[in-house]
Amino acid sequence: MRQFTIIKRDAASQEQLRYSGVLHQQTAEYLCIDARFELADRDLGYIQLRQGDHFREWFYFGRWYNIFRVGDAQSGALKGWYCNITRPPRLGVQQIMADDLCLDLFVYPDGRALLLDEAEFAQLAISMNERAAARQAVAELRRMVARRQPPFDEISAAIRGRGGSPAPAH
């Protein structure tokens, strides 16, 4: 198992959080890491994160976002996907760094999507090109959700398990 240190930085490239994960998969497009939520339990209003929740994290080369699939610590049930809008990641031998641009998209297991932290994003001192790339990243994520492209291909299965039909991506 190949270990990685993931470093979340702010828009000014200052370290905010550091944690460990294990390589799950590497392709020409991304690194996929398995990690555990090790902070204290948090109720974010739209999701409850619990210590030990399983995160499968996709860091895409050259893309302005990463996607975290959140699974329940005990049951493994899908809680949703947390999509961070970031500058493209910087990759080292055993390190991944991503500069968070505040804007986030949370996708529920039924496909509903919630755009978060727009006010914080509006206040960032970033270039117009970066601002446009971030907005374009949100649009790309919404398209992926609507088309149920991986990793969002679990949406239909989650709905079928409940006997319903998929919700549209908002």
CA-angle at 14, arms to 55 and 19, nearest 5°: 25
Return the pLDDT at 165: 43
For 139-150, letters b (16+ CB in 10 Å) and e give eebbebbbebee
User: What confidence tens digit (pLDDT) does each residue in 53-79 have?
Assistant: 999 999 999 999 999 999 999 999 999
Return the pLDDT at 164: 46
User: What confidence tens digit (pLDDT) does each residue in 76-108 have?
Assistant: 999 999 999 999 999 988 999 999 999 999 999
Helix, strand, coil share of the chain (percent; to 5): 20, 40, 35
Asked whether the beta carbons of 81 and 152 are under 8 A apart, the reply is: yes
Q: Could you tell me how far CA 134 lies from the centroid of its own chain?
A: 14
**DSSP run (H or E) holding 132:** helix 128-147
Fold of the 3-159 domain: FomD barrel-like fold (2.40.380)
Return the pLDDT at 17: 96
DSSP state of 144: H
Question: 65-71 and 78-86: which strand pairing?
Answer: antiparallel
Task: Count Cα atoms within 13 angstroms, Cβ side, for 59.
Answer: 29
Is the pLDDT reported for residue 7 higher than 50? yes
Non-local CB neighbours of 131 within 8 Å, separated by 6+ positions: 124
Overall pTM surpassing 0.85 (yes/no)? yes
Return the pLDDT at 158: 54
Give residue for tokens 């979340």: 8
User: What confidence tens digit (pLDDT) does each residue in 105-164 have?
Assistant: 999 999 999 999 999 999 999 999 999 999 999 999 999 999 999 999 999 765 544 444
Asked whether the beta carbons of 70 and 51 are under 8 A apart, the reply is: no
Give residue for tokens 């998969």: 25
